[in-house]
Structures are given as structure tokens and as C-alpha cells.
Structure 1
């Protein structure tokens, strides 16, 4: 796996460490990014892709009015 170095403001790094409950800024940022990506994948799985024209998987069937 490739390693990337990112420079962050100290206050931002501390906030991320507090949110993730870690003592290392590197571990904290990695956990936050992994959570963000996993959350995005779960959202896409539930909502589907708007471009494909398919309704969400767990959407109830549409009842005709009238």
C-alpha cells in the first residue's frame, strides 16, 4: 500500500484524535477516512446510482393513485 504524507493544522489533528479516541494523529486520520469511505459505500448501496434510473433496493412499491 502506498503511503501519503498530509500536513494538517494542529487543532484539526487534535479534534480528529478526540473524535476517534486515538493517541496518534496518523491513526486518527486513517480511522476517520476509512469511516467516511465506508459510510459513502453504504449510502450508495441503499440509494443506488441516480444515473442508472433504478429505484432504491429497499423502497416500497409505488401504489397507483386514483
Structure 2
């Protein structure tokens, strides 16, 4: 069983989320929006790599040669 969290939202925000998601109640609407947000983040990480991978694509810094 998953843990549950109660969150209070402004009524206008809840209605807007319901309209965007097509859900018939605020609980389902917020859950759908959050799940979609998380899935998009995972797809983006899979495509572009994570922050820890940034060293592989970074341009080497040039140092001024002395002499």
C-alpha cells in the first residue's frame, strides 16, 4: 500500500488541473499531472543524461600557455 499525502489547493487551481487532465475529481487530476511531470523528467534524463554526466559533454577549458 502506498503512503497517502493530503494537499490543499486553491479551488480555481484544482478546477484548472481537472480541465487540463480530463479527470472528474481533483484527487485524480493532481495525481495524473504529477505522474506525467515525473515521466517527462525521466524521458528527458534518458535522452540528455543526468547532471552527473555533464563532464562528458563539457568543452575542455583552454589555459593560457606561458612561455
Residue in 2 aligned with 1:34? 35
Matched, 1:2 2:3: yes
Tell me how large the CA RMSD over aligned residues is: 1.1
TM-score (norm 2): 0.76
DSSP-derived class of the 1:54 partner: helix
Q: What 5-or-longer segments of structure 2 have no aligned partner?
A: 58-67
**Structure 1 residue ranges (4+ consecutive) displaced by more than 6 angstroms after TM superposition:** none
TM-score (norm 1): 0.77
Cα distance in 2 for residues equivalent to 1:29 and 1:22: 9
